[in-house]
Structure 1
Amino acid sequence: MHAVVKGFRGFAAYMGSLMGADAYRKYLDHFTATGHPGPAMTEREFWRDRTDRQDNNPQGRCC
């Protein structure tokens, strides 16, 4: 049973990655690694900025 749960969690993490659910974590990792001055965007600010950029610069996407 443990293997099934572990497999499901792995699949869920993979699907979340495909959908961009881990984008804020990746942003924070990049922000910290590159040593930007000042505070990082909050999660709310990050998603608002990302949505605005996608709306202003539409690219080919499924939806």
Structure 2
Amino acid sequence: MKGAAGIRRTASKIRWFWREASGEATYDRYVAHARAHDPRAEVLSRREFERQRIDAREADPREGFRCC
């Protein structure tokens, strides 16, 4: 039993790390923040959120030149 719990714990840590590194958890934090601030507020869809995030990153002059 202790071995299975250790494997689950390790898998959970790997999943957490992967979601943080890939940006997957960013949308979840956005939704949680929006709901905590105003439960009736309309939340962007995942697609809309990612589009705004990419647009903001590309518009930021600190990100450097992007040719493509």
Give TM-score scaled by structure 2 length.
0.70
Ranges of 4+ aligned residues in structure 1 off by more than 2 Å: none
Q: Which amino acid aligns with 2:14?
A: F
> Which structure is larger by alpha-carbon Rg, 1 or 2?
2
Shift in alpha-carbon separation, 1:59–1:15, aligned structure 2, 3 A: farther
Name the Cα RMSD after superposition. Answer: 2.1
Point out the structure with the larger helix share.
2
User: Is there any run of 5+ residues in structure 2 with no aligned partner, and where?
Assistant: 64-68
Q: Which gives a bigger RCO, structure 1 or 2 (Cα 8 Å, sep 6+)? A: 1
| Residues 1:24 and 2:21 are matched in the alignment | no
Counterpart selection for 1:49 from 46, 52, 62: 52
Q: Percent identity?
A: 20
Superposed displacement of residue 37, structure 1: 5.7
Contact 2:27 / 2:46 at 8 angstroms: preserved in 1?
yes
Give TM-score scaled by structure 1 length.
0.74
